[in-house]
Chain A
Amino acid sequence: MFGPLGQKLIAHVAIGGFSFSFDLITIIVSWIVIALLVSFALVLRRSLHQEVEEKPNRIQALLDILIDLFKGQLTSNFSSDKMAHELFAFVSTVFLYVLLCNWISLIPYFDSPTKDLNVALSMSILVFVMSQLLAARAKGTRKYLKGFFEPYPFMLPINIMGEIAKPISHGFRLFGNMFGGAILIGLVYSFSITRWGFPVLLNVYFGIFSGFVQAFVFAILTVAYINVAVES
């Protein structure tokens, strides 16, 4: 019954005693997303080579507006300006990558990589490691480790569980939303007679709107988790 909904192309590789399985569609599409982002960046950077006194050209004006928007919306939740300036590139890269991963499913035959738990969970684990490292750097390793024993030493397991629950809920939220949307779209497509009309509206909602909101939420939560880890 659920056969035609989820078609996967899986490569099995055995190295030594371990066997690894790779979802080829996820890997290829996420490399396409990375290539798109990098080539956008390189093309857009080329238009920035000009003197400061000159009137900004169109692309530069657009980029100025976009970067102001990103700074205002994404990194204004950081408590200190220094951290906002430092982590602006990281947060906006996470946002753009997740956004393009969500939106690439609008192209036929492209599955969004965030529909795969591996991608979503690895993004959230990246954020988790980043937040722990930044916390250790901001507070000093000794004080950072001591934070796990607060307020009482026997709270250590609870503190560790609390930290581990964050990346899990962070990653599963993105995965669940994108996967649920994809299942719903697939179901409606398999029921409907035509491929035009109502199902396209679903694609617009789950692809464009929900994809944007989830990428935004992912970036905002990245900011919140890093901020909490560094502050507390």
Chain B
Amino acid sequence: MLQEAQSVVSQISGADIATAAKYLAAGICMGIGAIGSAIGEGNVAAHALDGMARQPEMQGKLLTTMILGQAITETTGIYSLLIAIVLLFVI
């Protein structure tokens, strides 16, 4: 049993570990990176909705500003997506 396990371990090369680490790193990067931008976008939408509920006549203006704010908040998520893409395809 132990010898079998040792032979399996000895077959794993450094390149295999590097590939596994690459995929793992891309997954972790995207998963953790999405948390911040998701919370931020939710905050923007919540406060825009608050404003719309208080002053329905401001809806058009608030919607534009909300989308703009969400797009800027999204940037950090996009950066982590780019890092994940670089990890997967380039390195």
Interface residues on A, range: 10 to 19
Q: How many residues of B are counted as interface, with CB atoms below 8 angstroms from the partner's CB atoms?
A: 14
Residue in A73, A172, A213 whose beta carbon sits within 8 Å of that of B82 in the complex: A172
Closest partner residue, chain A, to B78 (CB atom): A176
Q: Which of B51-91 contact A (CB under 8 A)?
A: 64, 67-68, 71-72, 74-75, 78-79, 81-82, 85, 88-89
Please tell me which stretch of A47-55, A81-89, A217-225 contacts chain B, meaning at least 4 of its Cβ atoms lie within 8 angstroms of it.
A217-225
**A-B residue pair count with CB separations less than 8 angstroms:** 38
Within the complex, the shortest CB–CB distance from A63 to chain B, in Å, comes to: 21
Residue in A77, A173, A216 whose beta carbon sits within 8 Å of that of B74 in the complex: A173
> Provided the pairs A73-B64, A213-B67, A220-B67 are in contact, do residues A176 and B81 lie with their beta carbons within 8 angstroms?
yes
Q: List residues of chain B with CB within 8 A of the CB of A221.
A: 68, 71-72
**A73-B82 Cα distance, complex, nearest whole Å:** 30
* 4 additional A-B residue pairs with CB within 8 Å, beyond A177-B78, A213-B67: A172-B78, A176-B79, A183-B85, A220-B71
Q: B residues engaging A (CB < 8 A)?
A: 64, 67-68, 71-72, 74-75, 78-79, 81-82, 85, 88-89
Q: A residues engaging B (CB < 8 A)?
A: 2, 73, 77, 169, 172-173, 176-177, 179-180, 183, 213-214, 216-217, 220-221, 224
| Shortest beta-carbon contacts, A-B, top 8 | A176-B78, A217-B71, A176-B81, A220-B68, A169-B75, A180-B81, A173-B78, A176-B82
